[in-house]
Amino acid sequence: MVYKKYEYDSFRIFAISTDQFKNCHMEVVFYRDAKTTRLTEQTFLVDMMGYTSLQYPTRRDMIIRMEELYNASYYSVTSKVGALLISNFVFDFLNPKYVSESSYLDDCLQFFFANILKPNMNDEGFDYRTFQTIKNRLQADLEAYKENPTNFAIRRSLELVYPQSISSKSILGNFEDLEACTREGMKRAYHDFFEHSHCDIYLIGNLDMDLVAKKILRYFKNPVIKMREPSLFVENKRLRSCKTVCESSSFVQSTLVMTYQMKNLTKYEKDYVLSLFGEILCGSSLNSRLYQYLRNENSLCYRVQTIYQKYDELLLIVVGLEHPNKDLAVKLIKKAMKEMAQGKICEEEIEMAKKQLHLALLMNMDNQNSLVNNSFFHEVGDVPLLEDRRKNIPKVTKKDLVALAKKFSLGLIYELKEGENHEED
Amino acid sequence: MKKIEIKGCDETFFVDVLDCGLPVIIWKNEHVKGYYLTLSVKYGSLDTDFYLGNKGYHVSQGLAHYLEHLNFHEPDGSDAQDFYAKNGSDVNAFTTFDYTSYEVYGVDYLPENLHHLLDFVLTPSFTSESVLEEQNIIIEENKMDFDNPSNLLYYGTFQSLFKTDRHQFFITGSKEDILKIRKEDLDLVYQAYYHPENMFLVVTGNVNPYEVVTIAKENLAKKTFLEFQHPKRKERREPAKVVTPYKEITANVEVERIRMAIKIPRKNFREKDDYKLRLMLTLLLQSNFGPTSPLYEELLENELILSLGCEKSILHDYVLLFLNAETKYPNELILKLEAALKHLKVDEKTITRKIHSAIANMVLSYDDITEVNMNIQEQLMHYGHILDCQKEVFESICLRDMKDVLKDYSCKEMCVVVLKQKK
């Protein structure tokens, strides 16, 4: 695997050359500060740009073209990581060596970049049909988060912990902001998006990267040069005490979310110690602490999930269980966290977790999306490359883990309580 | 060991059948770091009523899934997870309607991991206590299924389609089913079905096929197996009529959903090759209801759908076609879809384009060791052997074949399920 970087005035190309895949994967990534007022608009805009374009003005036209390009796949997605709003335009296509048409690579690049540079808009604004379709879709998505007890409970926990912070905001924004979006306004948003976002291109596949970089210069233009790199970290205030909140629902199962704040982590802790800590506490294996305490020893639940939002300095522990078991689950989770801070971690447990991470990292190296994702956060957030993590995680010591465990403080115990009567249809 | 060339994909599968009757299928990919092992047993959630010889047996719904959980218990009181965690590998399992599969992901320790997979799956060690311990865990898993509206719609449609067929029941069973399961039932099923002749091992990834077979042979040579009893699933005659043509169910949904299904006797189709028929039905549905169809475009334009999907199945004696949609206007949408289902169309240009894109997809599937492994499992379960000429079958499909399928198709037996918001 060979990493290569091409730097131009207003964007960079990061190429990973490997013969591992028959697929070629390319992403144009735009990123900027995440502001609450910007979330709905940017999600809306980017969704439209991934849906149709000036050249392919209906979804049908777009997909027919992708089928003609040997089932190439083009889509766009917006996400929020810490303080950063990230929009990815993603394109997957077959390695040209499997295709008889000599123009295939150019056809693919032309299609991909024209979708981004020539969106489906005219003087009045974005295309009516595209606008309306995406608006309806986003409205449904905003409503649908209440359908999933886990998503709902996580969202409510974040809102209760940091009601004002960007950390608690959904990437979809809210109904009011969605209603305020207009076709004309989205046209302005498009220009603003290009003007104020940083832009990089990531590419992975078995390709002549120098040649592809030259071709990209022909098909892609980004005229605006940005100087200041935005930061990933959100400065959230310290939580002074732990709140307990219980809300009712009509779901069959209760959901418990315990939200911990993690303050003042060093770069070393964020890069290496945190993932090992996570693996020991609640990793992929049923041998991890929380699985042992909650599932294996007490049969309280099927699944325990931990979500690390390291750029928001938050750890969420999520459990689906029966309401009467909630207090015992809280006690056991607190016990597990306390034991970690007291150094009650055995070397065997640490070694096992290191091996699990070793597997996860190697499996990520077999995945194009993971490789590109890692490459992006390496560039933007100074996150180590997968290979560096693989080399350095084995060096993490018990002392490092204990020091990290002491930096967690419980901020909220939230329960989305199951309904009283269930009717099974 | 036999080599099977996958025509048109430049890929080779290695196939062997061990002395104990276990088929082993291996696909080597030197470009990846890891490997994926699956040991599957042809026992799934549908097998609740079966015969051993002339004697009939009935066990609770959800038993296959319960057994999958319990098989992780090891004779020394540990769990299979303990072994794999120490080796830096991942172990898991899943249960389907037709089979149960135990899976291991790893990068190192192939011999140890494969030996242990064969050991823990083929050495039952559950006790009455472990059966009880696992009960609440499975009940909590089951509740997650019930809190998922898509599941309610999925099984709700099968309940409308089928009178006797057991696809209508949750794979995990209901809470009441789970509470009924006893160790004796688990023992009975284990003894009847968990036999190498009724199982298959699929290995994909960066492995040496000869090493895999040698390890499996070594391991199984040390085990003794009773004669396979060839259990037979009790056949249920499923009437051609759908049970409930229209039904509304309620759930925690904000956006209403519909699922329409058509039930057609398999024998109505002249095409005898199930694989080719599946491909043609996919092409037919995609051409008429996929995002490149004029209808999809029209429904979006009129805001009658938020999403629309289609799928097909051949389940025993019936071909089933499904349409799923999210909509604010279920009644209007149902009328439109019913009308379209009565007038399906095909054209050469669309079919040719979709065939080319499907072939590209097939080539790309070899980038993923999990996908290849799952495809092999599916082929063994559906067709009983590896399909080595999928590309040729795709390329053989012509407009005349498609028109024949259209002639054989009928939407007389149709059902609709609407998922509505709980008040």
- Quick check: A409 pLDDT over 70? yes
Provide CB contacts within 8 A for B57, sequence distance 6+: B49, B50, B51, B188
Q: Give the closest residue to A197 by CA, choosing from A57, A311, A70, A41.
A: A41
Do the beta carbons of residue A288 and residue A279 sit within 8 Å? yes
Residues of A in contact with B147 (CB under 8 A): 148-149, 251-253
B342's tokens: 């009565």
Task: Report the residue from A287, A354, A359 with minimal CB separation from B106.
Answer: A359
The answer to whether the Cβ–Cβ distance between A98 and B294 falls below 8 Å is: no
Query: CA distances (Å), B387 to each of A21, B391, B392, B405, in order?
Result: 23, 10, 10, 22
For the stretch B8-25, pLDDT in tens is 888 999 999 999 999 999
Burial zone of B108 (CB within 10 Å; 0-12 exposed, 13-18 middle, 19+ buried): middle
For residue A289, give the 3-state DSSP assignment.
Answer: helix
Residue A334 has pLDDT above 70, yes or no: yes
B133 closest CB neighbour out of A249, A299, A363: A299
pLDDT of amino acid A425: 32
pLDDT, position A421: 56
- For chain A, domain boundaries: 2-219, 243-417
In this complex, is the C-beta atom of A251 within 8 Å of any C-beta atom belonging to chain B?
A: yes
Q: Which helix (DSSP H) or strand (DSSP E) does residue B421 occupy?
A: strand B414-421
pLDDT number for residue A230 = 83
List, for residues B377-414, the tens digit of each pLDDT value: 999 999 999 999 999 999 999 999 999 999 999 999 99
Assign B414 to helix, strand or coil: strand
* pLDDT > 70 in chain A, percent: 98
Give me the mean pLDDT over the B18-47 stretch.
Answer: 97
- Summarize pLDDT for A107-165 with one digit per residue, the tens: 999 999 999 999 999 999 999 999 999 999 999 999 988 899 999 999 999 999 999 99
Residue-level pLDDT at A223: 74
Q: What per-residue confidence (pLDDT) applies to A386?
A: 96
Query: What would the mean pLDDT of B360-384 be, rounded to a whole number?
Result: 96
Angle between helical axes of B183-193 and B128-146 (0-180°, round to 10): 90
- Please, are residues B330 and B256 in contact by the beta-carbon 8 Å criterion? yes
pLDDT at B88: 92
Interface probe with B: pick from A355, A364, A390, A421, most Cβ of B within 10 Å:
A355
Q: Does A120 lie at the interface with B, CB-CB under 8 angstroms?
A: no
Please give the pLDDT value at position B10: 87
Give the domains, in start order, of chain B with CATH numbers.
2-233 (3.30.830.10), 246-421 (3.30.830.10)
CATH 3.30.830.10 fits A2-219, yes or no: yes
Asked if residue A280 lies in contact with residue B85, where contact means CB atoms within 8 angstroms, the answer is no
Which of these, B291, B413, B259, lies nearest to A51 by C-alpha position?
Answer: B291
Contact B293 A60 (CB under 8 A): yes
Residue B169 contacts residue B163 (beta carbons within 8 Å): no
Q: Does A317 reach chain B within 8 Å, measured CB to CB?
A: no
Instruction: Specify the pLDDT at position A287.
Output: 86
Region A61-78: what's the mean pLDDT? 97
Longest dimension (CA), chain A: 66
| Strand residue runs (E) in A103-227 | 121-122, 125-126, 198-205
For A197-249, write each residue's pLDDT tens digit: 999 999 999 999 999 999 999 999 887 777 667 889 998 988 889 999 999 99
Query: pLDDT tens for residues B90-145?
Result: 999 999 999 999 999 999 999 999 999 999 999 998 899 999 999 999 999 999 99
CB atoms within 10 A of CB B296: 23
The terminus-to-terminus CA distance of chain A in angstroms comes to: 53
Helix (H) or strand (E) holding B339: helix B330-342
Q: Which residue type is seen at A380?
A: V
Tokens of A392: 């350095």
Contacts of B323 (CB under 8 A, 6+ apart): B258, B259, B260, B261, B285, B289, B308, B309, B310, B337, B341
Handedness of CA A52, A57, A63, A69 (dihedral sign): negative
- Cα–Cα distances (Å) from A14 to A3, A73, A381, B154, B269, in that order, read 7, 20, 15, 43, 52
Instruction: Write the CB contacts of B377 (distance below 8 Å, at least 6 apart in sequence).
Output: B38, B40, B99, B101, B200, B202
Interface of A with B in 18-47 (CB under 8 A): 19-23
Contacts of B77 (CB under 8 A, 6+ apart): none
Q: Which of A89, A50, A98 is nearest to A70 (CA)?
A: A98
Residue A77 bridge partners (DSSP) = A88
Does position B337 have pLDDT exceeding 70, yes or no? yes
- Which of A19, A67, A284 is facing B31, going by the closest CB pair? A19
Residue A240 burial by CB count (10 A; 0-12/13-18/19+): exposed, middle or buried?
Answer: exposed
Complex ipTM value: 0.91
Same fold, A2-219 and A243-417: yes
What pLDDT sits at residue B316?
A: 86
DSSP character string of B178-240: HHH--HHHHHHHHHHH-SGGGEEEEEEES--HHHHHHHHHHHHHT---PPP---EEPP-PPPS
Are A318 and A153 in contact by the 8 Å Cβ rule? The answer is yes
pLDDT of res. A227? 67
- For B254, the 3-state DSSP assignment is coil
**What are the backbone dihedrals phi and psi of residue B305, each rounded to the nearest 5 degrees, phi first?**
-130, 150
Per-residue model confidence (pLDDT) at position A100: 87
Count contacts between A and B (CB, < 8 Å): 168
Q: Tens of pLDDT along A307-328?
A: 999 999 999 999 999 999 999 9
CATH fold for the domain made of A243-417:
Cytochrome Bc1 Complex; Chain A, domain 1 (3.30.830)
Closest CA to A354 of A270, A279, A269: A279
Identify the band that residue B223 occupies on the pLDDT scale cut at 50, 70 and 90: very high
Q: Do A286 and B81 touch (CB under 8 A)?
A: yes
For residue B91, list its beta bridge partners: B104
Q: What is the pLDDT of residues B228-258, one digit of tens each?
A: 999 999 988 999 999 999 999 999 898 999 9
Give per-residue pLDDT as tens, A359-392: 999 999 999 999 999 999 999 999 999 999 999 9
Lowest mean pLDDT among A128-132, A416-420, B159-163, B212-216: A416-420
User: Which pLDDT score is estimated for B371?
Assistant: 97
Q: Note the pLDDT of residue B402.
A: 97
Interface test with B, best of A99, A133, A138, A253 (most B CBs within 10 A): A253
pLDDT of the residue at B401 = 96
Which residues have a Cβ under 8 Å from the Cβ of A29 and sit 6 or more positions away? A86, A87, A88, A89, A199, A200, A201, A202, A376
